[in-house]
Amino acid sequence: MVTGQGPASAKARDRVTAAVTRLGYVPDAAARALASRSGTRLAIAVIGHTAAVLDDPYVGRVLTTAAHIAAEREVGVSLHWLPLNEPVTLAALAGRRGLGGLLVVNPTRPALETVPRDLRGRVAAIGVGTRHVPSFDVDNRTGTDGVVRHLVSTGRRRIAMVTGPSWLPCGDRAVEAYTRVMRDIGGETRVVPGDFTAARGAAAAAEIMAHWPDTDAVFALSDLTALGVLDGLHALGVDVPGDVAVAGFDDIAFASLSRPALTTSTHPVEDIAAAAARAVLDRGGTDRVTFFPSTLVVRESA
């Protein structure tokens, strides 16, 4: 048993180990996959309306991390788009032999229900999970709480929020956190739907200022959207942060390069993806749900 798994005496194991290192033996992933029917690929499935979700930099970061971790174990990674309203596709994907594990990005619960039984223990969700699929996600509840309380602490009271896509359940916790803070300070909730794009952010900014002209802060659940808000506000002649403060979420590389530099909250995408990839690759029993902390980064915009 080269795997170190099987039954063997300590002596025998040592001898094998010695031989392995001496001869520079490297197991053949293909042969192992064939014999054990364990698969040779880690599939990464991203749920979204269109295949364009694959081009999101966020997906790139997840993929980069997963591909790096997978490389150490001699397995490859493949990328798939899962149309939002056709969860069947996931079953089809899982049906292929050669699938060693599955990472679902931006999952919905119905979609997760369609993962076949025989894949259990080899699936992880980056986002919400289910009883059978462990979840790895950023703690956007406390992250959002931190951002909104920062806005409050700097004197803002009429705070609007631009959310993520409505079908994405992992954004709910953030909306709840925002709502709670607003209730605590006795303020009105001003929620506008977003979709994580910059274009939507610019449009949302216009909508917000039209509906609630006295708004003094905007929090977007995505830096990209927040940058769009910055743009939209600029077009409206609104000064940031003088008239309106703007905060985002993710702390992407460009958050520090915008003008004004964006106040935001971190999103440890690499840590999350690494943990999820390791969970399915190493089959270690994992917690049902693992949250990764998000911390406030104060810059100029709020």
Partner DNA sequence: CTGTTAGCGCATTCAC
Partner DNA sequence: GTGAATGCGCTAACAG
| CB-nearer residue toward a copy of itself: 54 or 298 | 54
Query: If binding is defined by CB under 7 A, does position 22 make contact with DNA?
Result: no
| Residues contacting DNA: total by CB under 7 A | 22
DSSP H helices, the chain, are 10-23, 29-36, 57-72, 88-95, 109-113, 140-153, 172-184, 198-211, 223-235, 269-281
| CB-nearer residue toward DNA: 242 or 284 | 284
Query: If binding is defined by CB under 7 A, does position 210 make contact with DNA?
Result: no
Q: Which of residues 96-115 bind DNA (CB under 7 A)?
A: 97
| CB-nearer residue toward DNA: 31 or 210 | 31
Residue indicated by tokens 């802060």? 217
Q: Which two tokens stand for residue 196?
A: 């994580």
The only residue of 17, 18, 19, 27 in contact with DNA, by rule CB under 7 A: 27
| CB-nearer residue toward a copy of itself: 44 or 245 | 44
| Cβ–Cβ under 8 Å, residues 223 and 248 | yes
The β-bridge relationship of strands 296-297 and 264-265 is antiparallel
Query: If binding is defined by CB under 7 A, does position 131 make contact with DNA?
Result: no
Compute the distance between CA of residue 205 and CA of residue 18 in angstroms, rounded to an integer: 65
Query: If binding is defined by CB under 8 A, does position 235 make contact with a copy of itself?
Result: no
Which region, judged by CB under 7 A, interacts with DNA, from 2-10, 116-124, 228-236, 272-280?
2-10
Query: Is 154 exposed, middle or buried, given 0-12, 13-18 or 19+ CB atoms closer than 10 A?
Result: middle
Compute the distance between CA of residue 251 and CA of residue 140 in angstroms, rounded to an integer: 13
Mention every residue, 6+ apart, whose C-beta is less than 8 A from residue 26: none
Binding mask 171-190 for a copy of itself (x = CB under 8 A): --------------------
CB of 73 to DNA, least distance (A): 12
Q: Which two tokens stand for residue 83?
A: 């149309």
Binding mask 54-93 for a copy of itself (x = CB under 8 A): xx-x-xxx-xx--xx-xx--xxxxxxx-------------
Q: Which of residues 45-104 bind DNA (CB under 7 A)?
A: 97
| Residues contacting a copy of itself: total by CB under 8 A | 46
Binding mask 250-279 for a copy of itself (x = CB under 8 A): ---xx--xxx----------x---------
DSSP calls for 123-189: EEEES---SSS-EEEE-HHHHHHHHHHHHHHTT--SEEEE---TT-GGGHHHHHHHHHHHHHTTPPP
With CA atoms as reference, report the closest residue to 94 among 83, 103, 84.
Answer: 103
Buried b (16+ CB within 10 A) or exposed e, 133-153: bbbbbbbbbbbbbbbbebbbe
Q: Which of residues 96-125 bind a copy of itself (CB under 8 A)?
A: 96-98
Q: Which residues bind DNA (CB under 7 A)?
A: 1-3, 5-9, 11-12, 25-28, 31-32, 34-38, 97
Q: Interface residues with a copy of itself (CB under 8 A)?
A: 26, 28-31, 33-34, 39-44, 54-55, 57, 59-61, 63-64, 67-68, 70-71, 74-80, 96-98, 198, 227-228, 231, 234, 253-254, 257-259, 270
